[in-house]
Amino acid sequence: MLAWGQRKTIIQKCKQLMALMDMAPYDFILHHRDRDLKRMLSFKHRTFQTTDNLYFITFLKHFYRRHDSLEDAFYSSMHADDKTTEKGLIGFHRLFFSLADAPQRTRKHVATPERKSTCKRLNMFLRWMVRQDEKGVDFGLWKKIKPSQLCCPVDVHVARVARKLGLIDRKQTDWKTTLELTEKLRLFDPADPAKFDFALFGMGVMEKI
């Protein structure tokens, strides 16, 4: 959720947040006391403010007391024969903001296809957790969601390259664009369409350079 802005700043902010959680975020989220949250009041990243951070911690504590894996938050809204993770992303957003004290302002920090977002960061997170490679990038820890259901993460750079290659026709860059690109990539590998994210993103970086 913090992955926007300059890479150097993102890494710095992530390290800062982890330090505030004693470098043990799962343990902190489950076992912190109210007084421990005072240290969180100093953490901000761009538009991600104290209110947002405290709600993230609140939801994750609520969720992990009932579930072993965050995969359940996505997969509970999916079926085994779903072509994509669209229902899972929608269900995750609804679940994430299902607590009574969910702040309205925090909703902008969690994307959903219902708002026509490309859901780039969530799709990238799902790619990391579901796909498995030998490079140490995609961990393959989750087994319920299948690699064939993953959507290719789309940002302005990936969309630009994909249009130049004739992979997408849609002029807007939104959720329908994500589906259009993923469907086209299935023609190359129906079992693992998201793997082409590496090539598309890399070409976009090289083109910018």
Torsion of the alpha carbons at 177, 118, 104 and 62, rounded to the nearest 10: 130
At 146, list the tokens.
Answer: 């299948």
Query: How high is the pLDDT of residue 34?
Result: 93
3-class DSSP state of 206: helix
At 76, list the tokens.
Answer: 């509970």
Query: How high is the pLDDT of residue 208?
Result: 64
Kindly list the domain boundaries of the chain, sorted by start residue.
Answer: 1-66, 120-208
Query: How high is the pLDDT of residue 147?
Result: 97
* Tokens 């421990």 belong to residue: 36
C-beta of residue 189 within 8 angstroms of C-beta of residue 195: yes
Q: What are phi and psi of 19, to 5 degrees?
A: -65, -40
At 7, list the tokens.
Answer: 């890479």
Query: How high is the pLDDT of residue 74?
Result: 98
Query: How high is the pLDDT of residue 203?
Result: 83
Per-residue model confidence as pLDDT tens for the chain (209 residues): 999 889 899 999 999 999 999 999 999 999 999 999 999 999 999 999 999 999 999 999 999 999 999 999 999 999 999 999 999 999 999 999 999 999 999 999 999 999 999 999 999 999 999 999 888 889 999 999 999 999 999 998 899 999 999 999 999 999 999 999 999 999 999 999 999 998 998 887 776 65
Tell me how far apart the alpha carbons of residues 85 and 148 are, in angstroms, rounded to a whole number: 10
Query: How high is the pLDDT of residue 201?
Result: 85
Helix 156-164 vs helix 197-208: crossing angle, to nearest 10: 90
Query: How high is the pLDDT of residue 20?
Result: 97
> In one letter, which amino acid is 93?
H
